[in-house]
Structure 1
Amino acid sequence: MSDELVIRQVWPAPHGHAVLSPFEASEDFEQACWQANEIIAISPTDLFYTFTKAGQEVVRLIVVDHPDVDPGYGVPEAAEGLEIDFMEVANGHRRRGFGTQSIELLRRQHPGKAVFARPPESEDAFWQSLGWEHIRHAQDGDYPPLFLKR
């Protein structure tokens, strides 16, 4: 078994309606949307990924392909890119670089596409640590900051 992090697309979203989570049940992930048999609302552009190391799942990720991006951010290329909608690193694997590695694998999977996130303020430090461009909306306080990697 490889000791490198491996990306696998778990499921492209079918037809943009509520579906059962495509992930296996796991106590290592806290968010309800990851649990098997959990009904989640998705759009046709959502992509679900899992990342494993030595066969053990360490990261789960939901990405939006061609997301809606308010023009006030001033980054029209983001609408042709990928938005990291939600990511969680498994309990026991946090603060070991798996989130950063997963995002880099995602970027390699989609070469030439801008990748961005609009995280809650509590997660700004992680995105700033990646060295991504920090972009404020023209109306500043009314919108979350956008972190972008071209």
Structure 2
Amino acid sequence: MSDELVIRQVWPVPRGHSVLSPFEASEDFEQVCWQANEAIAASPSDLFYTFTTAGQQVARLIVVDHPDLDPGYDVLEAAEGLEIDIMEVASGYRRQGLGTQAIELLRRQHPGRTVFARPPESEDAFWQSLGWDLVRHAQNGDYPPLFLKR
């Protein structure tokens, strides 16, 4: 079995739509939206991904395809991009570079698309470590900073 990180899209699925989490229950993930049968507010533009290595699920990601972005960010191409809404690496796999690898796999899955995130301040260091561009809103303090990779 390979130790290479593998990406798999788990939502939307061709069989239909659901507002229940498409993920299996796992104590390794803390976000409520990851738990099986948890009702979540998903839209048709939401894409859910799981990442595995050696058959073990190590990361989960929710992405918004063609997101709405306030014009105060002055990033016109973001409307055609992907916004990382929620990302989590399983508790036993953190600080091993898997989050970085997962984001890179996502970018390869969608070549030519701008990928961005508006994380809480507590996560700024992670996004800065990726070398992504930092964009502040024109009204600076009223909006979170945006990190993007073109």
Does residue 1:97 correspond to 2:97, yes or no?
A: yes
Q: Structure 1 residues 138, 128: CA separation in 2 closer, same or farther (over 3 Å shift)?
A: same
Q: Does 1:9 align with 2:9?
A: yes
Q: TM-score, normalised by structure 2?
A: 0.96
Tell me the amino acid that sits aligned with residue 45 of structure 2.
T
User: Separation in 1 of the partners of 2:58 and 2:112?
Assistant: 26
Which residue in the other structure is 2:59 paired with? 59
Counterparts of residues 96-135 of structure 1 (less than 5 Å)? 96-135=96-135
- Aligned to 1:137, the other structure's residue is in SS state coil
1:140 correspondence with 2:124: no
2:75 is aligned with 1:75: yes
Q: Kindly state the Cα deviation for residue 56 of structure 1 after the two structures are TM-superposed.
A: 0.2
How big is the shift at 1:18? 6.5
Per-residue CA deviations over 1:65-93 (Å, capped at 9, x if unaligned) read: 00001111010001100000000000110
CA distance in 1: counterparts of 2:108 and 2:74, whole angstroms: 24
SS at match of 2:69: coil
Structure 1 residues 9-34: Cα deviation after superposition (integer angstroms, max 9, x where no partner): 011179xx871100000010011110
> Residue 44 of structure 1: CA displacement?
1.2
Q: Report the CA distance shift for 1:44/1:53 in structure 2 as closer, same or farther (over 3 A).
A: same
Give the match's secondary structure for 2:147. Answer: strand
Q: CA 1:18–1:140 in 2, change beyond 3 Å: closer, same or farther?
A: farther
Separation in 1, partners of 2:102, 2:10: 14
> Once superposed, which parts of structure 1, at least 4 consecutive aligned residues long, lie more than 6 Å away?
none
Q: Does 1:27 align with 2:21?
A: no
Over aligned residues, Cα RMSD in angstroms? 1.3
Q: In 2, are the aligned partners of 1:46 and 1:64 still within 8 Å (CA)?
A: yes
What is the percentage of aligned positions where both structures have the same residue? 84
Distance between the aligned counterparts of 2:61 and 2:9, measured in 1? 9
How far apart, in 2, do the equivalents of 1:130 and 1:43 lie?
A: 28
Provide the aligned length of Structure 1 versus Structure 2.
148
Q: For residues 24 and 137 of structure 1, what CA distance do their matches in structure 2 show?
A: 37
